[in-house]
Amino acid sequence: MTLHESEAEIPLMVDRIVEQFHPRRVVLLGSRARGTATTDSNVDLLIVLDRVADKRGVAIENSPRTIRSASLQGHHRDDAR
């Protein structure tokens, strides 16, 4: 995947996160936010939620591997399991 293609995936990732969790804010961090990303760069997102009842469950269910798999393959997060 080219840098341009991976950049185009970021809004899709954010849309899925917003749809599922209704966060207060989603913040892009790291090299992509600075404009210094390369093809090897990951996507660093800070997700700000009002409250999470089961922090451990949310962390496991939404691990970077699951989110990345779902967003890059075009599947809903629950289909990536």
**pTM over cut 0.85:** no
Cβ 46 vs Cβ 23: under 8 Å:
no
Find out whether 60 and 51 touch, Cβ atoms under 8 Å.
Answer: no
pLDDT tens digit sequence for 48-80: 988 777 767 766 666 665 555 444 444 443 433
> Which residues are registered as beta bridge partners of 27?
46
d(CA 23, CA 73): 23
pLDDT in tens, 5-45: 889 999 999 999 999 989 999 999 999 999 999 999 999 99
What pLDDT score was predicted for residue 19? 92
Q: Output DSSP code: residue 74.
A: T
Beta bridge partners of 48: 25
